[in-house]
Structure 1
Amino acid sequence: MDRVRPSHRPWLAALLVVLGLFGSQRLDASPRPVVVDTRVELAAVANRLAGFEEFSAPGIADYDAAVETHFQRYQDHPVVQLLRALRQQHGIGYSDTVALALAATPHRWQSQQPLALWLRDTSSNWTLDTAQAYLEAMAAFERDTDAAAFFHAQQRFYRRVEAELGPGLQGWPDVAWFEQTLGPQPGLRLQIIAGLLHGRGNYGPRLRGSDGSVQMYAVLGVPEVPPGEANAWPFAAMQRLLVHEFAHSWVNPWVDGQAATLQPAATTLLGATAERMAIQAYGSWQALAYETLVRAVTRGYFQDNGDSASVALLSQEDAARGFGWVPAATDQLRGGARGGRWLNAGTAGAMAALLEAQVAQLQARAAAGVTSVSVARQVPAAGDTQVDSALAQLELYFDRPMGSGVGIFGDRHPTFTGAPRWDADRRVLRLPVALQPSREYVIELNSPSMPGGFAGKDGTVLPAQVWRFRTRALPAH
């Protein structure tokens, strides 16, 4: 699960490697490897009306406008009020509503399997009572908003999106590589879903059948497309995330089965990296272990396929997200393979030792005074609510000399009027802007899910953070 939001400025294009949105494909030959699912769309509409930031980024402008025209009048619907309460009381958001929507029957919004069984097999913030209340409210929302008419009117657009995405993802992933490297997994099926209201967010929910089969979904967001322009799909990035999501189906159950060996080391490493991991919602030892192994497998996949460009991008992303030990983990998996299989009886012990070694390295760095990059000062200051809209330049002061990378993300940052400029010793970055009065700006410095960004010359990385300020109103005349 990637909690990311877009940034689209011409001068940023040369500075940022935009990782785009992701998808996967069914193992059984499907005539439509990518679909638009109205359950996912309607859940996202409700989330937008509830003000969930992760579903509020601009996407395909013409479609966004159609959604707003049809649904904006329902911003006080009971399901919207319920979602706001669930967000505050239970932390519902991101993948939670996506996963439950796909576990529900179309239109009727009833769970396809007993909710208690689904909850037991799903990592989410739902409880039995809140999940049932949400499904009932969504059924009423679909009926009350006449959503069927809206979706019917959008069918031609949906088919066009499916047709554009399908060819670029045909043949992905290489199933034979996974089966040879990680072992066969009968009963696994995959389906890509285009999440047209998800910004750059992507999610990988799973639904286990009564026969033990697993339906895996890769719900991919979309890049921002201005009004009237053609859709542009970042297929290489989609393919990288497809492999990543696919690997979870092997790694997660293996990690769960090796908990006794992995938990102590992963728990200790989580404690040493808690702040960095919490930003990315990796708040458990299992999540840290899943991501370590999945990233190691993904790196190995592209190494074996001779895609050095993807390996380099993955390395940047892993480092930016605080998983600098992934290359060593890939080497360990490859070197410890038995019968060609990376996940074997000896893998857990070797991975535990590797994670323990990372803790020792982090402790040594801390003892030597090597810390993460920090922002010493911002102009305007974070939280300032009286910023003059005539201010033409933002400033970031760093605690050490910086490298050349710039990591600015988000869909609520100011309009940038020129390229960023470093001072002579590369400790101060100045950003030319045009501000509007009475507006809140939110600038994301580095992203936990995007490669590159702000890093010191000493190789340390600025932890992802938010810079928020508000301009004051113009004086009344």
Structure 2
Amino acid sequence: MPWRGDGRRRKMLRYDVACTGDAPRRVTRRRRAVTSGFLSFPRSSLRSLGRPLRVAALCAFAACCGYVGAARIALGQDAPPRPAATLTCRVDPAVELLSVLTTLAGPRGDRPPLAHAYAREALDRFGPYADHLAVRRAAAIADRGLEDFVAQVAARVGPPPGLVERPPIYAVGDGPVSVSADTIRALVAAARDFARRTSFMDFYREHAALYRTLCDRVLADSVLATAPTRVARFFGLSSAAYELVLMPLVPRLGVAPPGVRAGPRATLTAYVGPAGGRDGGDPVFRTGWSIERVVLHEFAHQHVNSAVYGAASSLARSRTLLAPVRARLWRADHVASWPGAVTETVVRAAVAEMRGDAAGDAAERDELREQRTLGFSFVDSVAATLRTARRPDAPPNGTAPNVSAHDARWWPGAMRRVVAMLDRAAASPHRDELSDPPFDAGMAHALIAAAPDSVLIILPTEERDAALQDSLRAHVERMRDRFVRHATIVTDREALARDFRGWTLWAIGTLDGNAWLRAHAAELPVAVDRERIVTDSAYRGEGLVFVGAQPSPLDARRALIVTVGQRVDELARGWWIFSSDYAVVDGTRVLTRGTYTVEGGRRRFVPTMGVDTSGVVGRQP
């Protein structure tokens, strides 16, 4: 036939498509028929026609496909993205096997051991095998701070005892701080032996009812039901399935599997750890925004990872931005490389944008502020860049036509904008200030963002009652050993005599008794006297306590936490830390709490509705 060897056949093949209502795709030579949903004819019948009739037949076929496509669009069936799949939940046997190994290895860092009944059963059942090679290999990885390995390794193997590898096996970790694929394979080999020797799958099957109960409880949280749709709408791309894998033995917020790229055939997975558990009770998982944030974060990773690491060569130009916050990013999420930092920043910015879409601008600002404090300094700028790229009137690059906010075409252009923004920041003469901005967060995040050995607690020496002053010091030492065990305790006189720039400061006492607090009273936004505490309103009483966080007067990039009481005896009984910027408490009763805004260089109190006693810890009667 005249079009077989002269190049025209190749040209015709470029227009051979299957019109199935989904995106057109090229038909390879192996496909023997050209089809639509209700129209099919073999290629041989095309070849038997003369060229004019072939062209006419193909045109008629194209018109048919166009009609079908137009009908689907008219019915709203092609409105991007298509509805996301239902969220499912399971407990994975490979995850549980590796979790048991880390549990036998013991708690790491400052984290206490899990106390719920399931953890105790695992320790009782597998304790005799605590010296097994698999436990030692798991402990060696956990000792490097890489607890994500449980989910990331389990995602690439089949169920125990075989643990059949699903290539490729990826290294675990970020950049220079990682564990090689060969080390992972050695762990898997040892874990196979552990699973066989201990009959691990019997243990797993015995707890099937518990696993179903945990999943039912988590999925009963109505906010999670919309997570797949929210992620799909944000990125303009739906995936085939969305699932949660619960990790009741892994004290980790969440993990995304390696090597998964969102798309119509992909299953997006969020591995989710517990919030804790009551002694003797079941593991307890987070609820509300606390768990929704984790799930959105892990699903977003599977949209973002490939785009960022694909731009790694372009990101090399801005890698100097990592140095000022490297230590904070490692503490925040074990980030050790600039591509890793950019990935986490983009994911957190996307989650903040999704939060704003659902709950409003104030909720988005709170989310961005929290992430900035953790060390993701450019999260506000990245969020603004994503917001601009998602606008219906904003093309993803300088030449492409405008796109809808729910169209996947906005995303590649957004990444180019992010790279350009980071290039500008790296070239700025204010680069270091941009990378490490002033502290702006609540009390809890002041401690989370601080290096464990850079927290300085300042205690009074001038309280009127020396016995109560000694009692306060003993109480603070007990609370320090429980909650911030690496913090240093000094007196107010020592704090005034030395330069503690670079430290997170925590001053405790009354204004009369703590000389350091008295010296910096003008910089505190609160007024405290014997009859009242004045914040967003005047609160009257005789045993009230103000707690709050603000930039340190010695180093604005670090925090100052203050615990100021009307009476020292009340301070010697309580310990208060909230996620909010400030609170006024009366014993265990929270009178007010909220955030600050800065106007004219002064902090203004903005109370938050509702009562929260979650920050009242360690109080003695």
- For Structure 1 versus Structure 2, the TM-score category normalised by the shorter chain is 0.5 to 0.7
Cα 1:48/1:426, change in 2 over 3 Å: farther
- Out of 70, 79, 102, the residue aligned to residue 47 of structure 1 is 102
Report if aligned partners of 1:405, 1:455 keep a CA contact under 8 Å in 2.
no
Cα 1:193/1:357, change in 2 over 3 Å: same
Confirm or deny that 1:334 pairs with 2:387: yes
Mapping of 1:249-260 within 5 angstroms? Answer: 249-260=302-313
Note the C-alpha offset of 1:34: 1.9
- Out of 255, 268, 276, the residue aligned to residue 224 of structure 1 is 276
Cα deviation digits, residues 425-446 of structure 1 (max 9, x gap): 4499xxxxxxxxxxxxxxxxxx
2:220 counterpart letter in structure 1:
P
Report if aligned partners of 1:296, 1:327 keep a CA contact under 8 Å in 2.
yes
Task: Describe the SS at the equivalent of 2:413.
Answer: coil
Report if aligned partners of 1:262, 1:349 keep a CA contact under 8 Å in 2.
no
Cα 1:190/1:283, change in 2 over 3 Å: same
Note the C-alpha offset of 1:262: 2.7
Cα 1:214/1:328, change in 2 over 3 Å: same
Cα 1:244/1:87, change in 2 over 3 Å: closer
Distance 2:558 2:254 in 1: 24
RMSD: 4.2
Distance 2:260 2:434 in 1: 44
Report if aligned partners of 2:296, 2:351 keep a CA contact under 8 Å in 1.
yes
Report if aligned partners of 2:93, 2:204 keep a CA contact under 8 Å in 1.
yes
Report if aligned partners of 1:192, 1:217 keep a CA contact under 8 Å in 2.
yes
2:557 counterpart letter in structure 1:
T
Mapping of 1:118-157 within 5 angstroms? Answer: 118-119=169-170, 125-157=178-210
- Out of 264, 268, 275, the residue aligned to residue 327 of structure 2 is 275
Distance 1:165 1:47 in 2: 24
Report if aligned partners of 1:373, 1:460 keep a CA contact under 8 Å in 2.
no
- Out of 86, 90, 93, the residue aligned to residue 29 of structure 1 is 86
Distance 1:328 1:361 in 2: 15
- Out of 445, 457, 460, the residue aligned to residue 557 of structure 2 is 460
Per the alignment, residue 421 of structure 2 pairs with: 353
Mapping of 1:242-253 within 5 angstroms? Answer: 242-253=295-306
Confirm or deny that 1:321 pairs with 2:374: yes
Note the C-alpha offset of 1:323: 1.7
Confirm or deny that 1:241 pairs with 2:294: yes
Distance 1:63 1:85 in 2: 24
Confirm or deny that 1:66 pairs with 2:118: no
Report if aligned partners of 1:240, 1:310 keep a CA contact under 8 Å in 2.
no
Mapping of 1:405-420 within 5 angstroms? Answer: none
Distance 1:85 1:379 in 2: 37
2:320 counterpart letter in structure 1:
T
Q: Which runs of 5 or more residues in structure 1 are unaligned? A: 1-25, 381-389, 407-419, 429-451, 464-477
- Out of 347, 352, 359, the residue aligned to residue 306 of structure 1 is 359
Between 1:288-297 and 1:171-180, the stretch displaced more is 171-180
Note the C-alpha offset of 1:261: 3.0
Note the C-alpha offset of 1:456: 2.4
Cα 1:110/1:219, change in 2 over 3 Å: same
Report if aligned partners of 1:261, 1:352 keep a CA contact under 8 Å in 2.
no
2:85 counterpart letter in structure 1:
D
Per the alignment, residue 203 of structure 1 pairs with: 255
Distance 2:185 2:157 in 1: 11
Report if aligned partners of 2:252, 2:273 keep a CA contact under 8 Å in 1.
yes
**Which 4+ stretches in 1 moved above 6 angstroms?**
120-124, 365-370, 400-406
Note the C-alpha offset of 1:321: 0.9
Note the C-alpha offset of 1:182: 2.5
Aligned residues: 383
Note the C-alpha offset of 1:141: 0.9
Per the alignment, residue 216 of structure 2 pairs with: 163
Report if aligned partners of 2:250, 2:274 keep a CA contact under 8 Å in 1.
yes
Q: Which runs of 5 or more residues in structure 2 are unaligned? A: 1-82, 396-402, 440-448, 460-472, 478-487, 520-547, 561-621
Report if aligned partners of 2:329, 2:376 keep a CA contact under 8 Å in 1.
no
Cα 1:135/1:363, change in 2 over 3 Å: closer
Cα 1:336/1:27, change in 2 over 3 Å: closer
Scaled by the length of structure 2, what TM-score is found? 0.53
Task: Describe the SS at the equivalent of 1:336.
Answer: helix
Note the C-alpha offset of 1:118: 3.3
Distance 2:328 2:294 in 1: 21
Considering only CA atoms, is the larger Rg found in Structure 1 or Structure 2?
A: 2
Distance 1:60 1:170 in 2: 28
Scaled by the length of structure 1, what TM-score is found? 0.67
Distance 2:191 2:257 in 1: 19
Confirm or deny that 1:82 pairs with 2:137: yes
Cα 1:453/1:199, change in 2 over 3 Å: farther
Per the alignment, residue 411 of structure 1 pairs with: none
1:315 counterpart letter in structure 2:
L
Note the C-alpha offset of 1:43: 0.6
Cα 1:354/1:393, change in 2 over 3 Å: same
